Amino acid sequence: MTTLSAPLLPGSTLGVLGGGQLGRMFVHAAQAMGYFTAVLDADPTSPAGLVSHHHVQTGYEDAAGLAELARLADAVTTEFENVPATALAALGALRPVSPAAGAVAVAQDRAQEKAHFVRCGVACAPYAVIETAEQLAAVPADLLPGILKTARMGYDGKGQVRVKTAAELAAAWESVGRVACVLEKMLPLALECSVIVARGADGACVHLPVQRNLHRDGILAVTEVHAANLPDTVARQAIAGAISIATGLAYVGVLCVEFFVLQDGSLVVNEIAPRPHNSGHYSQNACDVSQFELQVRTMAGLPLTQPRQHSPAFMLNLLGDLWFAADGSQQTPPWAEVLALPGTHLHLYGKRDAKRGRKMGHLNITADSADAARATALKAAALLGIAPF
């Protein structure tokens, strides 16, 4: 694996695998700091490809495309956890890649992920790995009711089935094609939260404040970040757990660690995302260093400084549903009315076609107090047709 011998300074070229909105925001952050950028994505209209200096229009496993990206870029990152780890490994032989293929491979497999949590001493929900009929038959009864999750290629609630009985579990495993799965015991949840950690090759680690998250239909809908969003003890435990998980992976880059807070106040880790995350988008307008600048700093080997949040913030996820009226006809969301509200910051991703459930952008709301930010966020949600929270 290739490593940096010295920091890559502005004027260097930074590459990213994946042309979606996370890649686009990384490209914007890198360019603001004076870097050239290169994106590898097969889609000629990919959001990141459209704004980058270079766009390699091939698939993730195309050898010629990977070689071209390595020729163009001095270092490479990824914006998508399901980029083949083999592609990252191939690039890693030629250029510094962060996060490394091994760390991404752990995040791509729920069984490996859970085992890593256990090794790091960070509590997770009781679980069982199901890869064979024998393992299915041996599942302890006390893991039910539970959630059956495919071990690979699951995100935004995909590849998940809730089951109450052994018969439902067996049927669910059949329904997902008898692929490798993890069964997690359902726990009494109070809320969800996450931590964005940035770790450098030298082991230095910084973090954003703990984010409180609301999901709807398996997709993040609202993030709120302010001093009163979580008890201090829970926030400190989440930060410590996230740093332990990143350190255990010898991770270099930006990592999101998602947690569940249970009704008794205890904390369990849910999953990791080896990249910037929706729940960290508020940092673009509420912190002095955003998660995307942290991504640039980690891959370029620049010093990491602890981000400071200067404003309480809410983030509203903007899905394609907002572009459709009640009768199904297309509409333009009322951006002028939304932006007339104080402290609103609109981020649209440059996607040409709105589809229901598709992430089209996000709205950050900042204010002098958490109450003021919430009030404005609720006004914006009402204008957009987003359910209150």
Region label for 107, one of left (φ > 0), alpha (ψ between -120 and 50) or beta (otherwise): alpha
Is 136 in the same domain as 91?
no
Give the whole-angstrom CA distance, residue 65 versus residue 90.
Answer: 11
CATH number at residue 149: 3.30.1490.20
Range of the domain at 238: 189-384
Residues 67-76 pLDDT 10s? 999 999 999 9
Residue ending a domain, choose from 165, 185, 205: 185
Q: Assess whether pLDDT exceeds 70 at residue 155.
A: no
Query: How many domains is the chain partitioned into structurally?
Result: 3
pTM: predicted TM-score of the whole model, two decimal places: 0.95
Alpha-carbon distances of 317 from 103, 216, 271, 278, rounded to whole Å: 28, 11, 20, 8
Chain centroid to Cα 16, Å, comes to: 15
Query: What does the block give as tokens for 106?
Result: 């752990």
Give the whole-angstrom CA distance, residue 59 versus residue 46.
Answer: 12
Classify residue 140: in a domain, yes or no. yes
Residues 284-306 pLDDT 10s? 999 999 999 999 999 999 999 99
Q: Which residues are annotated as a binding site for ATP?
A: 110, 149, 154-160, 184-187, 192, 215, 270-271
Is 177 in the same domain as 208?
no
151, 176 contact by CB (below 8 A): no
Query: What does the block give as tokens for 261?
Result: 């807070």
Percentage of residues in the chain with pLDDT exceeding 70?
A: 99
Residues 323-371 pLDDT 10s? 999 999 999 999 999 999 999 999 999 998 999 999 999 999 999 999 9
Compute and round to an integer the Cα radius of gyration of the chain. Answer: 21
Is 254 in the same domain as 373?
yes
pLDDT at 71: 98
310, 15 contact by CB (below 8 A): no
Give the whole-angstrom CA distance, residue 350 versus residue 345.
Answer: 16
Is 232 in the same domain as 312?
yes
Is 340 in the same domain as 223?
yes
CB atoms within 10 A of CB 106: 23
Give the whole-angstrom CA distance, residue 110 versus residue 154.
Answer: 9
Q: Assess whether pLDDT exceeds 90 at residue 63.
A: yes
Q: Which residues are annotated as a binding site?
A: 110, 149, 154-160, 184-187, 192, 215, 270-271
CATH number at residue 233: 3.30.470.20
